[in-house]
Amino acid sequence: MLNTKRVGHIVLFGGTIVLLFYVCSIGIHNVFRYNAFKFEYLDALAKYESEVKKKEWYEFQINAQDRESYWEEKAKMELGYVKNGEVVYKVRTANPGKSE
């Protein structure tokens, strides 16, 4: 015949082991959740920073359009505009893929 005190200790030990595994599984589950949320956060942060930079660039472009020098430079670069009496030097470089 088993001692009731011994049976109580065995049941308590078994319950403690089950509780320990349960707590460990919760901890491991939360570590995986944390890593998933961390990657999601870092991805969202990178997208946010990219959008902030785009917004700053667009604001700069909009503010630059208020200046006459912006339109003059834009006409020179895209349309080849040259003012009267202005001298333009064009520099041509060798083709790097071409052997001489």
pLDDT at 75: 86
> Could you give the CA distance from residue 84 to residue 4 in angstroms, rounded to a whole number?
111
Distances (CA, A) of 51 to 41, 47, 57, 59, 74: 15, 6, 10, 12, 25
Cα angle: 59, vertex 65, 69; to 5 degrees: 130
Q: Is residue 27 part of a domain?
A: yes
Give me the DSSP letters along 15-66.
HHHHHHHHHHHHHHHHHHHHHHHHHHHHHHHHHHHHHHHHHHHHHHHHHHTT
Q: Is residue 86 part of a domain?
A: no
> How many domains does the chain contain in total?
1
In tens, the pLDDT along 78-92 reads 888 888 888 888 788
Q: Is residue 65 part of a domain?
A: yes
Q: Is residue 72 part of a domain?
A: yes
72 touches 81 (CB < 8 A): yes
Q: Is residue 56 part of a domain?
A: yes
Q: Is residue 50 part of a domain?
A: yes
> Could you give the CA distance from residue 28 to residue 54 in angstroms, rounded to a whole number?
39
In tens, the pLDDT along 5-64 reads 888 888 999 999 999 999 999 988 998 899 999 999 999 999 999 999 999 999 998 888
pTM over 0.85: no
Q: Is residue 16 part of a domain?
A: yes
Tokens of 13: 């030990």
pLDDT at 49: 97
Domain extent for 70 = 4-79
pLDDT at 2: 63
Q: Is residue 34 part of a domain?
A: yes
